[in-house]
Amino acid sequence: MQKYIDKLNYFFETPIDFKSRGLIFIAALMLLPTFFLPLWNMTLYSNQFPEGLTLKIYSHKLEGGKTPYRDDLKEINALNHYIGMRELKEDDFTEFKWIPFVLGGVMLLALRVVVLGKMSKLVDLLVLFSYFGLFSLWSFYHKLYLYGHELDPTAAVKVAPFTPPIIGHHTLANFEVYSYPAIASYFMAAVPLFWLIAMWLSRNAWTKKRVAL
């Protein structure tokens, strides 16, 4: 057991080389798009709306597709009213209040890792970011579940409780609903991959240096 503990401690004390620090810095910059590009897209198709109603979810707001004659978010809320679903309002999404701050904090911590150059700090950051990502997905799913299950029993149109898809397709009455990650989510997903590559590069570089000595 002590042997494995020593190896783990050795890994945590590994210094981060210059190339890996560059990757960590680039990964931090890759979080910038999450402040102004959508994280998720939902699209609803039906005979009435063959071109689709779109809903874009950002880190700080909801936004429906807009044309000179239509606001998709208003149309979606009008349809939701008929089946007894609550109106989609930004005030109900507490995530919009803390997600941008968490992302900003992660960027600052990443820059701290670049300066300190210690593997243990990068591991801490990776664990924190992984927890944040998983918790955000759970929170998103839970919110969708509540919207689809807390239906008004006096609604004009009766539908069985449902959960809008977090990823993929769902048929609801005469609507086909599609939900997929948007471009900002792909940037977020790439961040931990960059950090893992940085870990691997630094570990290999330090191991080779130790062998050479």
Q: State how far the Cα of 23 lies from the Cα of 12, in Å rounded to an integer.
A: 18
CB atoms within 10 A of CB 50: 7
Mean pLDDT calculated for residue range 23-52:
92
168-172 and 70-71: which strand pairing? unpaired
Checking if the pLDDT of 45 tops 80, the result is yes
Mean pLDDT calculated for residue range 60-78:
86
Task: Enter the DSSP assignment of 30.
Answer: T
Checking if the pLDDT of 213 tops 60, the result is no
Q: State how far the Cα of 57 lies from the Cα of 37, in Å rounded to an integer.
A: 9
Amino acid identity of residue 44, one-letter, is L
Partners of 54 in beta bridges: 43
Give me the residue spans of the domains in the chain.
Answer: 17-201
Give the predicted TM-score (pTM) of the model.
0.85
> Contact 165/177 with Cβ under 8 angstroms?
yes
Provide the pLDDT for residue 81: 83
Provide the pLDDT for residue 212: 52
Provide the pLDDT for residue 179: 93
